[in-house]
């Protein structure tokens, strides 16, 4: 037996949480799917697994090399037959690393001959019977764990909207996310040129950046086409160059510990004292990384649009320089981990035009269970309105800089796009008739109540008192 494998099996226990184990199993499932579908495109994934094991040959021309007995679905079938052994899973993951250098050490935290983790539950936690993507399984895991996990995940419908807002280019572009997370948002941008794009991202959480790397591998992004840095974006100015597109869904109103070096950071030094919430920190970092004709779309909470003091100063400065180009109000309850309504800010490096386009899409959703979902129709309406800068009463408005200035640089969408509906003209005669009918009903009710009180003898009591 290989010495490294012996050491992995000799470990007393795995060094990961059950949540991180689920994520690794979701990745394991996805790479297994790619091998199995290279072997046979037809039939259910479990039928293909059966055929693959019967062939006793390993597919060599797939994105990954995985032997029949080392696939996720082999162990899933063992689990269904009550024959699953954790030690065999550890061996399979090690074998995969050995045959696929790009996966070296990615499963190293799954170790030991036995595990205190309820490892079998992974087969139930993720969708094992159907062919779902790695990103879909991440969403399943996120929904089941709620706020208890250690990463934020941009929901599919919001990713789709941001992707369509930035548009598609035929040629490769450079794309950056200052709050990378699982990289699902970043890797969805400009998919038409996936092989030519260059992806950059920063993430402070070590475990989460591993998920981002898995995501890039699953999407078959070449090693030299993505660079993910495990670092504190707000404190460390990563000077990798410039990005054509910046997208981000940073943590909502995260506490920002300002230190004495922050005021000297070139990303922030033109904006005065910095606030203790990090929303604008991520935005200013993104603007700093934008190319001259680049575009940034960032998700923020509504408070970012109107909070005063230090945030007011940053917002005003950006508006004065023509950097904020659009504000899009989204429906509430569209994010996985919160019911709070959020907005999208669209920014440019600079512009002589200081007008801002507002879209109130708070009613553009379809109710699905407890969530509000942006449908294809909703997304297309928002994107078409944005691209055409089309004004529509109750939905969109192009506000001049002077109008924004009169509103004291408050960017709350409701100030510019009012969705309340009033009757244009009141029919007074009709209203008088309605009031007369209501008065008549009240008189009838009084008479009925009086009769009831008399029947119960309450009128006599009332007279005596």
Quote the percentage of the chain above a pLDDT of 90.
64
188-to-192, 233, 385 alpha-carbon distances in Å:
10, 21, 22
**Separation of CA 279 from chain center:** 15
**Residue 290 pLDDT grade (very low, low, confident, very high; cuts 50, 70, 90):** very high
How do 366-368 and 371-373 pair as beta strands?
Answer: antiparallel
Query: Which whole number is the average pLDDT over 41-55?
Result: 95
Where is pLDDT greater, at 318 or 1?
Answer: 318
Specify the pLDDT at position 152.
61
Cβ–Cβ < 8 Å for 165, 359: no
What 8-state DSSP symbol labels residue 63? S
Helices (H), 11-85: 18-39, 45-55, 72-80
What 8-state DSSP symbol labels residue 283? H
pLDDT at 384 over 90: yes
Cβ–Cβ < 8 Å for 308, 408: no
Query: Which whole number is the average pLDDT over 185-202?
Result: 94
**Residue 147 pLDDT grade (very low, low, confident, very high; cuts 50, 70, 90):** very low
Give residues with Cβ within 8 angstroms of 384, minimum separation 6. Answer: 390
The H or E element that residue 398 is part of is: strand 396-399
Inter-helix orientation angle 72-80/86-99, to 10°: 170
Helices (H), 56-152: 72-80, 86-99, 122-125, 134-145
Give residues with Cβ within 8 angstroms of 168, minimum separation 6. Answer: 190, 191, 192
Listed residue (171, 202, 203, 176) closest to 187, CA to CA:
176
Query: Which whole number is the average pLDDT over 337-346?
Result: 85
Enumerate the β-bridge partners of residue 367. 372
124-to-80, 137, 140, 141 alpha-carbon distances in Å:
10, 12, 11, 11
Length of the chain: 465
pLDDT at 60 over 70: yes
pLDDT at 148 over 50: no
CB atoms inside a 10 Å sphere around CB 177: 32
pLDDT at 160 over 60: yes
Helix (H, G, I), strand (E, B) or coil at 348: strand
Cβ–Cβ < 8 Å for 64, 103: yes
Helix (H, G, I), strand (E, B) or coil at 382: helix
Where is pLDDT greater, at 279 or 19?
Answer: 279
Give residues with Cβ within 8 angstroms of 180, minimum separation 6. Answer: 186, 201, 202, 203, 208, 209, 212, 228
Give residues with Cβ within 8 angstroms of 139, minimum separation 6. Answer: 153, 155, 156, 336
Q: What is the DSSP string of 163-215?
A: HHHH---SS--EEEETT-TTSHHHHTTTGGGTTT-EEEEEES-HHHHHHHHHH
Listed residue (255, 254, 280, 257) closest to 267, CA to CA:
280
Cβ–Cβ < 8 Å for 194, 219: yes
pLDDT at 96 over 80: yes
Query: Which whole number is the average pLDDT over 358-381?
Result: 92
**Residue 465 pLDDT grade (very low, low, confident, very high; cuts 50, 70, 90):** very low
Specify the pLDDT at position 131.
87
CB atoms inside a 10 Å sphere around CB 360: 22
Distance CA 348, CA 419 (A): 28
Could you read off the pLDDT of 207-261 as tens digits, one per residue?
899 999 999 999 999 999 999 999 999 999 999 999 999 999 999 889 998 888 8
Name the burial class of residue 440, with classes exposed (0-12), middle (13-18) and buried (19+) by CB atoms within 10 angstroms of its CB.
exposed
Specify the pLDDT at position 426.
62
Distance CA 180, CA 238 (A): 13
**Residue 422 pLDDT grade (very low, low, confident, very high; cuts 50, 70, 90):** low
Could you read off the pLDDT of 304-323 as tens digits, one per residue?
999 999 999 999 999 999 99
Sign of the torsion formed by the C-alpha atoms of 48, 89, 144 and 179: negative
How do 198-203 and 226-230 pair as beta strands?
Answer: parallel
Query: Which whole number is the average pLDDT over 338-360?
Result: 90
Sign of the torsion formed by the C-alpha atoms of 278, 282, 287 and 289: positive
């Amino acid at each position: 037996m290989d010495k490294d494998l012996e050491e992995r099996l000799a470990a007393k226990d795995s060094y990961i949480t059950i949540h991180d184990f689920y994520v690794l199993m979701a990745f394991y499932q996805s790479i297994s799917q790619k091998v199995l579908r290279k072997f046979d495109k037809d039939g259910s994934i479990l039928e293909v697994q059966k055929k693959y094991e019967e062939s006793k040959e390993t597919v060599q021309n797939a994105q990954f090399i995985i032997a029949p007995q080392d696939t996720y679905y082999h162990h899933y079938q063992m689990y269904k037959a009550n024959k699953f052994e954790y030690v065999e899973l550890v061996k399979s993951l090690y074998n995969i690393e050995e045959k696929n250098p790009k996966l070296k050490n990615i499963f190293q935290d799954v170790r030991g001959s036995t595990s205190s983790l309820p490892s079998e539950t992974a087969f139930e936690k993720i969708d094992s019977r159907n062919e779902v993507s790695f990103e879909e399984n991440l969403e399943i895991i996120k929904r089941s764990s709620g706020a208890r996990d250690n990463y934020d995940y941009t929901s599919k419908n919001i990713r789709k909207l941001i992707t369509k807002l930035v548009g598609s280019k035929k040629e490769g572009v450079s794309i950056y996310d200052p709050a990378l997370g699982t990289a699902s948002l970043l890797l969805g941008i400009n998919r038409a040129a996936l092989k030519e794009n260059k992806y950059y991202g920063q993430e402070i959480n070590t475990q989460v950046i591993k998920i981002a790397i898995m995501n890039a591998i699953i999407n078959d992004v070449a090693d030299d086409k993505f660079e993910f840095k495990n670092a504190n974006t707000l404190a460390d100015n990563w000077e990798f160059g410039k990005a054509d597109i910046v997208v981000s869904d940073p943590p909502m109103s995260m506490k920002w510990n300002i230190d004495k070096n922050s005021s000297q950071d070139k990303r922030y030094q033109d904006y005065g004292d910095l606030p203790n919430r990090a929303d604008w920190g991520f935005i200013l970092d993104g603007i700093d990384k934008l190319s001259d004709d680049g575009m940034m779309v960032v998700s923020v909470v509504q408070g970012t649009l109107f909070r005063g003091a230090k945030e007011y100063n940053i917002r005003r400065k950006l508006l004065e320089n023509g950097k904020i180009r659009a504000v899009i109000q989204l429906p509430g309850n569209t994010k996985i981990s919160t019911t709070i309504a959020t907005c999208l800010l669209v920014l440019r490096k600079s512009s002589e035009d200081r007008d801002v386009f507002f879209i109130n899409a708070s009613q553009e959703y379809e109710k699905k269970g407890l969530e509000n979902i942006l449908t294809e129709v909703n997304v297309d309406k928002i994107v078409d309105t944005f691209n055409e800068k089309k004004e529509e009463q109750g939905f969109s408005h192009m506000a001049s800089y002077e109008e924004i200035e009169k509103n004291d640089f408050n960017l709350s969408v409701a100030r510019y796009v009012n969705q309340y509906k009033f009757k244009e003209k009141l029919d007074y005669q009709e209203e008088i008739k309605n009031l007369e009918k209501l008065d008549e009903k009240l008189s009838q009710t009084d008479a009925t109540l009086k009769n009831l009180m008399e029947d119960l003898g309450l009128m006599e009591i009332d007279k005596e008192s």
